[in-house]
């Protein structure tokens, strides 16, 4: 990568990070200190229904784990919650051979345990969008703070869903 292009890329990343930090600070200012500032919502795309909502901290990592549809081996997408409407895809890990398809990302590493990694992706997303699979075929699972949450307990298979980072709702103090 030419030197000027690398500097522009770094500047863009810093600008995005500063914007995410500003949104997080605004969210924190609007929310009492005793309450979590952000939530990770699982939203049904067609209806807008929030099926699952869990507190999440700015900079906290979470994983969407599932069985790949072709070879039924695990695939995990690793994300970081940044701010409302801001999620970072950091890396992917998998046992799947991905149906022989190539990779869009170039930093591939095969660990000694046979798990593949696509590292250093660091791609910003507004949301994580996918179709819920059945528990026997995909078993979509949220992994947060070491806890595994089976998503089929909240959303029916074949439902289009998105994970979104949002400001936590304010609680009324009556």
Q: What is the pTM assigned to this prediction?
A: 0.75
Determine the pLDDT at residue 5. Answer: 58
- Helix, strand, coil percentages (3-state) for the chain, rounded to 5, are 20, 40, 40
**What pLDDT shows up at residue 22?**
41
Q: Is the sign of the CA dihedral 21, 26, 31, 33 positive or negative? A: positive
pLDDT given for residue 38 in this prediction:
97
In whole angstroms, give the CA distance from residue 32 to residue 9. Answer: 36
Residue 84 pLDDT:
97
pLDDT given for residue 21 in this prediction: 43
Both structure tokens of 8: 């522009």
The distance between the two most distant Cα atoms of the chain, rounded to a whole number of Å, is 59
What CA–CA distance (Å, rounded) separates 122 from 141? Answer: 21
In whole angstroms, what is the distance from residue 126 CA to residue 79 CA? 11
> Could you list the mean pLDDT of each consecutive 10-residue stretch along the chain, which spans 174 residues?
56 50 45 64 97 98 90 90 97 77 72 90 97 91 98 97 95 64
Q: Write down the pLDDT at residue 108.
A: 86
The reported pLDDT for the residue numbered 30 is 44
* pLDDT computed for residue 93 by the predictor: 94
């Amino acid at each position: 990568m030419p030197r000027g292009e690398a500097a522009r890329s770094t500047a863009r990343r810093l600008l995005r990070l500063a914007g995410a930090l500003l949104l997080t600070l605004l969210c924190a200012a609007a929310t009492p200190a005793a309450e979590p500032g952000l939530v990770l919502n699982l939203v049904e795309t067609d209806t807008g229904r929030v099926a699952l909502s869990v507190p999440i901290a700015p900079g906290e990592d979470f994983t969407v784990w599932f069985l790949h549809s072709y070879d039924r081996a695990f695939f995990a997408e690793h994300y970081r919650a940044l701010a409302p409407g801001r999620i970072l895809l950091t890396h992917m890990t998998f046992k799947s051979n991905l149906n022989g398809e190539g990779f869009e990302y170039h930093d591939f590493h095969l660990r000694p345990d046979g798990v593949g990694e696509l590292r250093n992706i660091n791609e910003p997303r507004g949301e994580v969008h996918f179709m819920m699979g059945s528990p026997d075929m995909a078993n979509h699972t949220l992994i947060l703070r070491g806890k595994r949450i089976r998503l089929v307990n909240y959303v029916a298979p074949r439902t289009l869903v998105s994970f979104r980072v949002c400001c936590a709702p304010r609680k009324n103090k009556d």
